[in-house]
Structure 1
Amino acid sequence: MRTLLSKKDIVFVSFMLFSMFFGAGNLIFPPFLGQSSGDQAWLSLIGFILSAVGLPILGVVAIAKAGSFQGLAGRVHGLFAIIFPFLIYVSIGPGLAIPRAGSLAFEMGMAPFLPEAWAQSRISLLMYTLLFFAVVWWLSLSPSKLVDRFGKLLTPTLLALIGIIYVKSWFTPLGSPTDPAGSYAAHPVIQGFLDGYLTMDALAALVFGIVVANTLKSKGVVEKKSLSSNMVLAGLGAGMLLTVIYVILGILGSSQISADMAENGAQILTILMSKLFGESGALLLGVVFTVACLCVSIGLVTSCSQYFHQLFGKPSYAGWVTILSILSMGVANLGLTEILSVSVPILGLIYPMAIVLILLALAERVIPPHSFVYVTAVGVVALFGIVDLVNTVFFAHQWDKWLIELPFYKEGAGWVMPALLGGCAGMLFDFKARAGSK
């Protein structure tokens, strides 16, 4: 039995976790933040890293401290420990993240090289996703080999490609930083933090915890305290890699690479690659997107398959890999717009609850696992999320005139005040319970 992995093994496990986090969305957000914040990019990146890196790594630490995602959710209620993880695994798995990765890989890695009629064809998307998810299925069948595949092949490939882009930018002047726009001029750190919060990688941290734990167990680390310490080290290593990549992409995006402002991060990267590498830039960008999407898809299929196999018992792990790969391919062919229109409101409901759970787990010395705070804080946030979901989906934002009075609601974080009020209520219940027991 091992208590601590070697430095080499920690590096490879960190690479594995980094590659599972780093998908196409993580490529797109930092350049757009850089363009929007301009010469305030460093300040915006500080806020972005605090949430886009800090929250996911805290999620890994929270799972390490609680022992499992189900154990953490069980602090709210036994039924919650069944329903909430199930919703997260469905939403971040075959319901959104995996199909989105497949469709984005097609749009950025294949469509630019096809005739326009073929690029718009449903048949082309079907054929590409069939091949893409066949590779995902094959690489997901042996989760014990993920460290070798990610740590020794896919992650170094991705890092090398981004490194090539950054080094080339030293020799190709891209222009001076742009002027900051909107909230990035007035509150660059706060706006950067809110942008990082929207990456929703904290959900992925809860999902990936089972994969990291099983990987460590396969290497002989089985004692709970040792598992926890090694998971924390792997999380910190992955966080350092994410930070470096975000800074590179954010600084590149802040340069004046085009006379006009791009509408999204994908456009910024396309313009940037064309300026740095000419016609071959689109090919290199396509490879970067494909590798990133492949890494995330494999990580999510593996995580979800292990979870559903543990939850239902049957079919086997390999059976769940097959089922999820086929489902994800089918949903990917619905188109990205349709996927987002259904799934994003649901993610908006469950993501704040995940953040509250993570923060409460980290405050275990002050707020014990049996505290009423878990019930009241998570319960009030869930109630707010349901109200906001109904307002968005069924009432076309008619309730915004009241909800907008909540702090941070316009920025997508209206749940913060309800969480604080729920936490205070839970502390009062704790105090009353302790007083009554004396």
Structure 2
Amino acid sequence: MNKIKETFIIGFALFSMFFGAGNLILPPSLGKNAGDTWFLVTIGFFLTAIIIPFLGILAHAKLQGSMYDFGKKVSPIFSYFYCVIVYLIAVVLPAPRTASVTHEMAVAPYFEIDSIITSLTYFSLVFIFALNRSKVLELLGKFLTPLIILILLTIIFIGILNPPEYMLDSKLATPFVNGILEGYQTFDAIGAIIVGGVLVISINFKKKASFKSKQLIIIKAGFIAGVGLLIIYAGLIFNGALFNSTFKEEATRSEILSSLSMQTLGNIGTSLLGILVALACFTTAVGIITGTADYFKSLFKNSSKAYFITALIGSILGVVMGQLDVQKIIVFATPTLRLIYPITIMLIILNVLPTKNISSMNFKIVTIITFIFSLPDFLQFFNKNILTSITNIIPFANNHLGWVLPAFISLALVSIYEYLQHKKRLT
């Protein structure tokens, strides 16, 4: 196969594993609320939904292992617990959300079918794809992703060329911060360390190449996926802003996306959107279930039985949790993301930085500090008044970003300390 063609197929496959339910329904809703500040929102959204995930893929290119390798420098025990928690979150929240969105937008409008039937059919197909994982990259990259991108670009460009007469002003007090926090809900940073592992293993299945050549393929694929996400996200946010005067005030995220497709593509738009939603959600669910099964397979000495059982359990959990509506799943996800997302972001950054400059001590201290300063956000979701005396004095804490400065300051201080110690030993 031509090398350029192969790289694009892998890049498209990676894009499709990233691009799921949240990636579709979040940007237009964000644009609706952002109005004339859509550009600031977009930059914030890019940070957590594109740049950090791309760094996650770069880290995978450097490590070429599994998610376990991301946290092992903190400690092996921490890494095991971290991996189990992240995979559990992925299987219980974003994977079922793909089935919920598919039912709400691609099935319910056309057929009187109970959501349990949709989930059973949906995750049966996901399970079949997961068992045929050696063909996943080719099937996703060659066939499904180009169709997803084509439909999305059609909606975006028609919307830009035929906008309504006016745009409503922004409803957001801090649009940049809102963009950052909404980017959490895409699960893309967590997705990067899950589907990046799928990418590494799938490339190993397909070809026996040198570490360097595989590294180059992964980086190029990550870049292709990142550019694709950037164009689609920016287009959907901008369209949401352009059309915000046409949406109902209380419209849900799914209803905003449906309205946008109807206004740009007419009646045929609803049908095309249904196909788009089903494809985008399905590819992400396959990536999550496959990645989770890969990890538990590695825990049990590459046991095929462990892979099969994990994929089966993940699919069953998807059916059960898929009975919840999308909004409920998003609400359930929020406190968990406030705790696990900052740790994931810092682990990605630590693994991308040059190995000679980042020691095990840096991993330990930065992770502990990030956890401590993320804890108030997690607890305040359940009780807004808890720890307020502390969060009021922490920069950006009132914007749910109190962990940022402490994490990066601790990273800088430990790096300086270790540099001085190294210099002292040489003299």
- Confirm or deny a common fold (TM above 0.5): yes
1:9-408 → structure 2 map (5 Å cutoff): 9-68=6-65, 69-92=67-90, 94-114=91-111, 124-169=114-159, 172-183=162-173, 188-189=175-176, 191-256=178-243, 257-258=245-246, 260-261=248-249, 263-313=251-301, 314=303, 315-336=305-326, 339-364=329-354, 367-368=357-358, 370-393=359-382, 395=383, 397-408=385-396
Residue by residue, what CA displacement relative to the aligned partner does 1:293-331 show, whole Å, maximum 9, x if unpaired? Answer: 111101111111111111134424233222211122122
Distance between the aligned counterparts of 1:247 and 1:388, measured in 2?
A: 28
Letter in 1 for 2:60: I
Q: Closer, same or farther in 2 for the Cα pair 1:262/1:250, shift >3 Å?
A: farther
Distance between the aligned counterparts of 1:241 and 1:300, measured in 2?
A: 20
Residue by residue, what CA displacement relative to the aligned partner does 1:364-401 show, whole Å, maximum 9, x if unpaired? Answer: 26633x342111111111223345434434x4542234
Tell me how far 1:103 sits from its aligned partner: 1.3
CA contact (8 A) 2:163 2:242 kept: no
Q: Closer, same or farther in 2 for the Cα pair 1:358/1:153, shift >3 Å?
A: same
Tell me how far 1:181 sits from its aligned partner: 2.9
Distance between the aligned counterparts of 2:38 and 2:239, measured in 1?
A: 10
Q: CA RMSD in A?
A: 2.7
Q: Closer, same or farther in 2 for the Cα pair 1:316/1:363, shift >3 Å?
A: closer
Distance between the aligned counterparts of 1:173 and 1:417, measured in 2?
A: 40
Distance between the aligned counterparts of 1:128 and 1:204, measured in 2?
A: 24
Letter in 2 for 1:231: I
CA contact (8 A) 1:372 1:427 kept: no
SS of equivalent to 1:10: helix
Q: Which moved more, 1:218-227 or 1:21-30?
A: 218-227
Q: TM-score, normalised by structure 2?
A: 0.89
Distance between the aligned counterparts of 2:95 and 2:297, measured in 1?
A: 18
- How many positions carry a matched residue from both structures? 422
CA contact (8 A) 2:35 2:241 kept: yes
From 407, 416, 419, the counterpart of 1:419: 407
Residue by residue, what CA displacement relative to the aligned partner does 1:240-291 show, whole Å, maximum 9, x if unpaired? Answer: 1111111221221121351654544322222222323444433322222111
Letter in 2 for 1:345: P
Q: Closer, same or farther in 2 for the Cα pair 1:337/1:26, shift >3 Å?
A: closer
Letter in 2 for 1:269: L
Distance between the aligned counterparts of 2:149 and 2:40, measured in 1?
A: 24
Tell me how far 1:125 sits from its aligned partner: 1.3
Residue by residue, what CA displacement relative to the aligned partner does 1:4-23 show, whole Å, maximum 9, x if unpaired? Answer: 97000000000000000001
Unaligned runs of 5+ in 1: 119-123
Residue by residue, what CA displacement relative to the aligned partner does 1:58-114 show, whole Å, maximum 9, x if unpaired? Answer: 11001221333322311111211211112111111x221111111121112222335
Unaligned runs of 5+ in 2: none
Distance between the aligned counterparts of 1:259 and 1:91, measured in 2?
A: 32
CA contact (8 A) 1:91 1:347 kept: no
Residue by residue, what CA displacement relative to the aligned partner does 1:135-173 show, whole Å, maximum 9, x if unpaired? Answer: 111122111111221112111121121133234436644
Tell me how far 1:233 sits from its aligned partner: 0.7
Tell me how far 1:56 sits from its aligned partner: 0.6
